[in-house]
Amino acid sequence: MLPWKHLLRPLSALLLTAAVTIVPAAATTATAATAPAAAVDRTETAASSRGWNDYSCKPSAAHPRPVVLVHGTFANSVDNWLGLAPYLVNRDYCVYALDYGQLPGVPLVHGLGPIAKSAEQLKTFVDKVLAATGAAKADLVGHSQGGLMPRHYLKFLGGAAKVNALVGIAPDNHGTTLNGLANLLPYFPGVGDLLSTATPALADQVAGSAFLTKLNAGGDTVPGVRYTVIATKYDEVVTPYRSQFLDGPNVRNVLVQDLCALDLSEHAAIGLIDRIAFHEVANALDPPHATPTTCLSVIG
């Protein structure tokens, strides 16, 4: 792939940020307040019709913990999981997915609000899932921001007592430079403020942000939780890709190309369609029954 093509996704993200700033503010206060709730209802209904977000599901003895899927930036609880959610449901997991980080006037595209606030939404959702399933703990699987944001929940909101494992697929655990674009922000006065005010989650994910500095102070992990990071060396969004890896006890960092050199997935594909990564997710959720991941895992 030509080098300039690696910049298309981050540039698209920045363009969408600019678009968000000019969304008309003429919507009434009532509309702004009710739209996110209505959107959540629609996406939860859509997910339930596909086999996940089924609150009548009871975890089995083989898979005693529900799995909560946490989407990435500019995504939602359905589109991000059209590949992985059925993969897990077909393996007899109770699977749930939430929407978070909604902004008024921006439908279907979520994960844009302040990450600390999004973590509060995750806390509420996990409590809901545990109450419905009767399980003591849940396992979390997140893509991109969805692998990062739960760490705030675990560290600052009591999540460590309710979570057994966190699996991050291409998570920006230490922020991203967007292939160096983030390093240019100081040279463009006002752009950083634009990110912070229009799409706070983007500003939170820039390497060196106040959010990340606080999150990673004192160590990447918290006791009692197992961590797995699944990354691809072709990631063009979370750069450098090794910044995704965590340090600490109970951590397993995985590069999919070490398992299958033919895997060409980039940032989006690894979470959307990569069955090499999916197989590693299944291994992380059930370590006693883990099986080797190879290129043949794509047909497993």
| CATH fold of the domain at 30-299 | Rossmann fold (3.40.50)
Residue 107: φ, ψ to 5°: -80, 150
Tell me the backbone φ, ψ of residue 191, rounded to 5 degrees.
-70, -40
Instruction: Kindly state the average pLDDT of the residues 8-23.
Output: 42
pLDDT at 155 over 80: yes
Residue 274 has pLDDT above 60, yes or no: yes
Side by side, the strands of the sheet bearing 138-143 are 95-98, 67-70, 138-143, 163-169, 226-231, 251-255
pLDDT higher than 50, residue 16: no
Residue with the larger pLDDT of the pair 195 and 271: 271
The span from the CA of 145 to the CA of 103, in Å, is 16
What pLDDT digit, counting tens, does each position of 80-115 carry? 999 999 999 999 999 999 999 999 988 888 999 999
Per-residue pLDDT reduced to its tens digit, 113-131: 999 999 999 999 999 999 9
Q: Percentage of the chain surpassing pLDDT 70?
A: 77
Model pLDDT, residue 273: 97
Residue 5 contacts by C-beta under 8 Å, 6 or more apart in sequence?
Answer: none
The whole-number average pLDDT for the span 228-237 is 96
Q: Locate tokens 């674009």: which residue?
A: 181
Which are the contacts of 52, defined by CB distance < 8 A and separation ≥ 6? 69, 81, 85, 86, 88, 89, 95, 96, 97
Gap between the Cα atoms of 137 and 237, Å rounded:
31
Q: What's the pLDDT score for residue 105?
A: 87
As a whole-number percent, the residues of the chain with pLDDT over 90 amount to 72
- pLDDT at position 9 over 80: no
More confident residue, 25 or 212: 212
Q: 37-46: per-residue pLDDT in tens? A: 555 555 666 6
How is the chain split into domains, by residue range? 30-299
